[in-house]
Structure 1
């Protein structure tokens, strides 16, 4: 049965939880794609701050409604798409959460095995087991992360900053983003990737303000810190990608600091396992969430042992491109709707114009920056590249696909929602 949404997380707990969720080794790795070649370090940091602020505001705006409606993320989308159509993003979210949980377990096991020069598989099993236990008792895990683990993360992060800054900083690599806005786009993608999960946690926040500030500021601060750490490591050690982890391991006592961060990376695995279970309840509300969490945790752990997670990464980014415009549609439609009119019931009707806005936003994203696949999926990339050429859109346009997608989806949603809201107010 679905657990009652107890609203017990105050500002401290909510901020700490989301600050912890932003502590991830993925961000320093992704920093290589936010580099502005031929520009100063300050220019790349400005792109990081810009992207983090935009992404954090969007995350906060999509997290706050759950504190009012007291429902998980995929149930919240019933008010946007209707009950039946909400199954589409629910299915996609289940796939992406399992994928990201697998990917995070791989990162934990790789970093830990490098730090200790040990086999990878024991760390896969340990990470999968611990994250699953956390997902079975989520409120307790959220409180521990929000009140205590954040201080451990802060200490480890500060140590890594001090050690990296003690090394001479050289010019950044000559590869990276093609423009300022493509660098911003890389950073925006991290906070907005939590949109399909945010309400699963902020429904437990005491009010909408707590959810907005706690999620937005907490995750935004961590995003800036860890992308910047990645840039500094690039400048200090001249290495990027997953080699950044190896460079951090090379500093004195760096292995200990990274192992602490690896332990804190468990919260991302926990979050993805828990949200998979909660999202599944949009299909089957009567199934015990704890049993679902155990099943999902087992699947992610097995996949981390046998699957090359990096080959799955492009598909995860494609699903992310689906949720970026959906976030824009939700923000506009929810905040323009009269208070108390959001229908999340079993009979919530489909709202076709909003679905059209969502689809148009996804098309705009792919026309700006087609999701890159090689091998079997190369046809997807080639087809959208051909459509770019047909419309005269340069392949290296330098635009932010996230902002273009959000603008198209939001404007189309506003064009439908504003007149309907005005008519409803006149009638009332």
Structure 2
């Protein structure tokens, strides 16, 4: 570290994330920054929009709220454990997986993460543009372009953006959410007649998918946090609380106004001054798009360390913006479940392996040896997830669902079992990781 380094000289406000993987990350973020960042990432219009998938039709609202709380606790605990590991090792998320799978084998989850990051960035841009167009009564496409450009620009200076989000944006967002809560709670709240959840645990699965979707990205930001404890607590508490608040807001809006899907936005617009509150949330939504674009760039550096993250972020931002111009938002629910099927088991494998490894023995170097045995519990967890609840894809993807449904029949598994696919997949992955870890250490 040179004498002019901003971290050494104390001018931490000017420190920025390194442009390539070869650069040392500044450790400038504390607990308050981490709480603010993850709370802000959790305050997203995508969550109330997705609330229709967690509503248990005909059941008391308290049951749906309980499913939201359980899902948020499980998902955020996984997020916090991986975030703390990223702070301890001071490496991005995909590089952290080198210690689990080896450098080249870690390219497999990196590929999955690149796909999900682009997908999430696209969804965020769609929701921003859709909400803005409804508030202002204008065509959607200009807002798609504007959101894509702004999110990409934010990804060029990520730590500067994190500091702004933690200190200012999160409070503005919370004020808007609190106002919407007050207005929605003033309405009668009958049980919701329609909803996408078939059981308590399928509802919880949708909620789990949201924090788990950030698990592969968490270390991209917590590598800049000064302590593992601050990283773990800040990410789990910040995102967990925001997840509960935003999902419950969506559920209450559905009950109060009888809306569904993106019509939740219309319901919130019906609130006095609702348009202003929604516009605030639309502006804050940019942070989710920015975070996914930045993490796509950082993930790609796991394969080619010397690629400039600014160039990568610009390219990914362009792709996400073009996709957002043509995206069918009806694909949102299966996308959530597929993310859970891939990353819930992987999170379980990583957490068990990492937190049972002596400190200083986790190899994230370019020469990290391959450990293909860890692919087995990950794959087993994914299979268990699909056998519990096959990811449903309409149209051309229906063959995927049909194949897994046939395997359920072969094994005598009731398709309407009502189990939590996330918890089943996680349990299988965790249990099988223990013998793999013991065998790897003996070797």
TM-score of the two chains, using structure 1 as the length reference:
0.96
Correspondence for 2:122 among 99, 102, 110: 102
Contact 2:126–2:324, Cα closer than 8 Å, also in 1? yes
> Which contiguous aligned blocks of 4+ residues in structure 1 show a shift greater than 6 angstroms?
none
The equivalent residue for 2:26 is: 6
Task: Give the superposition deviation at 1:419.
Answer: 6.3
Q: 1:308 aligned to 2:328? A: yes
The equivalent residue for 2:11 is: none
- Note closer, same or farther for the CA distance 1:307–1:242 as it changes in structure 2 (3 Å cut): closer
Deviation string for 1:336-361 (max 9, x for gaps)? 11111101111111212211010100
Tell me, what secondary structure is at the counterpart of 2:416?
A: coil
The equivalent residue for 2:258 is: 238
2:66 & 2:340 partners in 1: Cα distance?
A: 24
Task: Give the superposition deviation at 1:36.
Answer: 2.3
Correspondence for 1:283 among 281, 298, 303: 303
Q: 1:260 aligned to 2:280? A: yes
1:102 & 1:8 partners in 2: Cα distance?
A: 30
Taking the TM superposition and a 5 Å limit, the aligned residue runs for 1:26-175 are: 26-175=46-195
Contact 2:206–2:336, Cα closer than 8 Å, also in 1? no
1:306 & 1:7 partners in 2: Cα distance?
A: 39
Residue-pair matches, total? 423
2:294 & 2:420 partners in 1: Cα distance?
A: 31
- Note closer, same or farther for the CA distance 1:43–1:312 as it changes in structure 2 (3 Å cut): closer
Task: Give the superposition deviation at 1:415.
Answer: 2.2
1:320 & 1:135 partners in 2: Cα distance?
A: 25
Task: Give the superposition deviation at 1:227.
Answer: 0.7
1:172 & 1:312 partners in 2: Cα distance?
A: 21
Deviation string for 1:223-277 (max 9, x for gaps)? 0001110111111111121111110011111011001001100011001100000
2:372 & 2:313 partners in 1: Cα distance?
A: 33
Q: 1:187 aligned to 2:207? A: yes
Which segments of 5 or more consecutive residues in structure 2 lack a partner in the other structure? Answer: 1-19
Tell me, what secondary structure is at the counterpart of 1:339?
A: coil
Correspondence for 1:362 among 367, 375, 382: 382
2:189 & 2:413 partners in 1: Cα distance?
A: 37
Contact 2:68–2:204, Cα closer than 8 Å, also in 1? yes
Correspondence for 1:213 among 233, 237, 241: 233
Deviation string for 1:22-72 (max 9, x for gaps)? 011111122122222332111211111111111111110111111111110
Contact 2:54–2:195, Cα closer than 8 Å, also in 1? no
Contact 2:213–2:339, Cα closer than 8 Å, also in 1? no
TM-score of the two chains, using structure 2 as the length reference:
0.93
1:346 & 1:420 partners in 2: Cα distance?
A: 19
Contact 1:173–1:234, Cα closer than 8 Å, also in 2? no
Contact 1:99–1:316, Cα closer than 8 Å, also in 2? no
The equivalent residue for 2:407 is: 387
The equivalent residue for 1:271 is: 291
1:320 & 1:350 partners in 2: Cα distance?
A: 25
The equivalent residue for 1:377 is: 397
2:303 & 2:413 partners in 1: Cα distance?
A: 40
The equivalent residue for 2:268 is: 248
1:256 & 1:188 partners in 2: Cα distance?
A: 30
- Note closer, same or farther for the CA distance 1:148–1:80 as it changes in structure 2 (3 Å cut): same
User: Which range moves more in the overlay, 318-327 or 144-153?
Assistant: 318-327
The equivalent residue for 2:365 is: 345
Correspondence for 2:43 among 23, 30, 39: 23
2:128 & 2:156 partners in 1: Cα distance?
A: 20
1:77 & 1:420 partners in 2: Cα distance?
A: 16
Supply the RMSD in Å over aligned alpha carbons: 1.5
2:337 & 2:404 partners in 1: Cα distance?
A: 15
Tell me, what secondary structure is at the counterpart of 1:306?
A: coil
Q: 1:326 aligned to 2:341? A: no
Task: Give the superposition deviation at 1:306.
Answer: 3.4
Contact 1:103–1:310, Cα closer than 8 Å, also in 2? no
- Note closer, same or farther for the CA distance 1:420–1:98 as it changes in structure 2 (3 Å cut): closer
1:10 & 1:322 partners in 2: Cα distance?
A: 31
